Amino acid sequence: MIEKKLTRSELKRAAIVEAASVEFQNKGFSLASMDDIAKRADVSKRTVYNHFPSKEALFSAIMLEMMEMLCAFESLPFSAEESLASQLTQLVQHEIKLLSAKGFIDTARVIIAEAIHKPELIQDAMSEFSKQESPLANWFNQAIAAGALKAKDSEILVVQFTAVIKAYCFWPQLIQGEPLPSQAKLDEITQTVVEMIIKQYT
């Protein structure tokens, strides 16, 4: 598959979003300025405003980009032929890979901090994101529809599934700056999550 080549305008927009993300991480939303964002992106301030009419709009774009990451990994369709344990293991590995992606934790830290002080900043992005179904929810819904898992819908399963993973691979890194667990620990976490879902919902 040939990747679409970005236009000059799209490249500048991407540079602005990346620069803003770094500025917000370093200074917080309130102290970051459009001047500094333009300088870091190596574009004029006018170019920044051509793409984003306000700092709030830029923050929302960053948040939407992060949320799109949550739905970006390749969707794993449910298979009646493959074991539940094998498929769930792949899903856990996908989730860990996402949470450990470069810049994910730093961006999440900025978004959470600003959401506490200015919840209106994230409302539009949350509204847009709520219209999408994540690949994770999609897999669980397919498994339920096929009778492989016994539940009314995927919501509680997704929450339980991700909660255990994030307890080791998100919150400690976000709050305490801890490194990602060792591979041995990640294997243990994966096995725990897989066994939990199978034991409770089959």
For residue range 151-181, what is the model confidence (pLDDT) as tens digits? 998 999 999 999 999 999 999 999 999 999 9
Contacts of 102 (CB under 8 A, 6+ apart): none
Helix, strand, coil percent content, the chain, rounded in steps of 5: 70, 0, 30
pLDDT higher than 60, residue 1: no
> What angle (nearest 5°) sits at the alpha carbon of residue 71, between those of residues 67 and 8?
70
Lowest mean pLDDT among 12-16, 91-95, 121-125: 121-125
Under 8 Å between Cβ of 121 and 56: yes
pLDDT in tens, 59-87: 988 888 887 776 665 578 999 999 999 99
Residue whose C-alpha is closest to residue 197's, from 166, 162, 145: 162
Distance CA 45, CA 18 (A): 15
- Give me the pLDDT at residue 6, please: 85
For residue 13, the tally of other CB atoms under 10 A from its CB is 20
b/e map 112-141, b = 16+ CB within 10 Å? eebeeeeeebbeebeeebeeeebbbbbbbb
R_g of the chain, CA atoms, integer Å: 19
Residues 6+ apart with CB under 8 A from 128: 64, 67
% of the chain at pLDDT higher than 70: 90
Domains of the chain: 1-53 (1.10.10.60), 64-201 (1.10.357.10)
The structure tokens listed for 69 are 């990451």
Looking at residue 2, its pLDDT comes to 46
Closest CA to 150 of 198, 83, 195: 198
Q: Are 135 and 71 in contact (CB under 8 A)?
A: yes
For the four alpha carbons of 108, 114, 117 and 121, in that order, the dihedral sign comes to negative
Region 17-44: mean pLDDT is 93
